[in-house]
Amino acid sequence: MSIATKTYPITPFDRPAPTTEDLHWADLTELPLDLFYHAKGRTRLVERVKHALEVDDLGFWSPYERTIADTDVLDNMELVNIPKYADDYKDYPRHDIFKAHDAVIAEFHRKCWHQIAKPLFVLFALAMELPESYFVERHEYGKSSQDHLRYVKFSDGSYRDIKYKKGSVVVNIADTLSFMTKAFLSRIGVLYGCRPNDNVPVITAPSPLLERLDLISDADRDAKEGDAVTAGG
C-alpha cells in the first residue's frame, strides 16, 4: 500500500526591480570570489580586504561570483532557524514543509558556508598574516556549532542603503569573530550567522598585524586555550 506524500506549494518570489531613488548608498568593498581560486587573484582579494578593514572600516563586503545563482533561490519563505546539515543535527526536528524541501535547503545551506564563508575566512586570515586555515579550522561545517539566523543590529543607530548588484550577497562580521580579532574585524550586524565550532576557545588570534597595530595586550598573549571560554559556552 503506497503512502501519500503531502506537497506544499509555495508562491514563487518575484524579485522587485532595483529602486531608482537617489539614496545614501553604502560604499561597500566588492570581492569577486572567482579570483579566490587563483594565487594572484587571492592576493588581490587580500589587498581589498585589508583596504576595507583599514580604510573603509564598514565591516561589510559584497562578494559576488557564480556561487549562489538566482536559480538556487527558488522560493520565498518566512525566516526560521535551521541548523547545519551535519551529523550532530541529523535528528533535529523540522516542520513538514521544510522536510518536503530538505534537499534544496541543505544544498543552499552548504553553499553559504563552502562557497562564501570559507573563502572569506581564508582572506581574513591572510590579511591578518595568519595561516590561511586559521579561521576555517575554527568554523568547520561538519562540527557542532551555534550557526543560526539573526536580526540586523546597527551599533550606532545609523542606517545606510545597500545598492542591489546582480549576483552578489552582502556579508558582514559577527560578534565572536570580532572578539577574536580585537574588533579589527568589527561587527555591525548579521543575517546569516556562521559561528565558530562549539569547542573553539574564544581568544585573540596571534596575528602579526594586530601586534604591529598594538591591539594585542599582555593578557591576550598570556591567555591559555584551556582556560578560555569556548564558542559553545
**Above 50 in pLDDT, residue 150?**
no
Q: b/e for 169-200, b at 16 or more Cβ within 10 A?
A: bbbbbbebbbbbbbebbbbbbbebebbbbeeb
Domain boundaries, position 58: 29-198
Question: Residue 46: pLDDT above 60?
Answer: yes
Give pLDDT, residue 151. 35
- 17: in domain: no
Whether 88 maps to a domain, the answer reads yes
**Residue 8 CB neighbour total at 10 angstroms:** 12
User: What total number of domains does the chain contain?
Assistant: 1
pLDDT of 149 higher than 50: no
**126: in domain:** yes
- Which of 8-12, 95-99, 141-145, 160-164 ranks highest by mean pLDDT? 141-145
Q: Alpha-carbon distance 124 to 129, whole Å?
A: 9
3-state helix, strand, coil in the chain (%, to 5): 35, 10, 55
Lowest mean pLDDT among 56-65, 84-93, 167-176: 56-65
Which of the two residues, 21 and 120, has the higher pLDDT score? 120
Residue 15 lies in a domain: no
For residue 71, what is the domain's CATH number?
A: 2.60.120.330
Using DSSP, state whether 201 is helix, strand or coil: strand
Q: Is residue 65 part of a domain?
A: yes
Task: Note the pLDDT tens digit of each residue in 113-123.
Answer: 899 889 999 99
CA 20 – CA 23 distance, rounded (Å): 9
pLDDT higher than threshold 70 for residue 60:
no
What confidence tens digit (pLDDT) does each residue in 69-101 have?
Answer: 666 655 443 456 778 888 888 888 887 877 888
In a domain, 102, yes or no: yes
d(CA 24, CA 153): 19
- The answer as to whether 76 is a domain residue is yes
Distance of CA 34 to the CA centre of its chain: 17
% the chain with pLDDT above 70? 76
Counted residue by residue, the chain has a size of 233
- What percent of the chain lies above the pLDDT cut of 90? 30
194 within some domain: yes
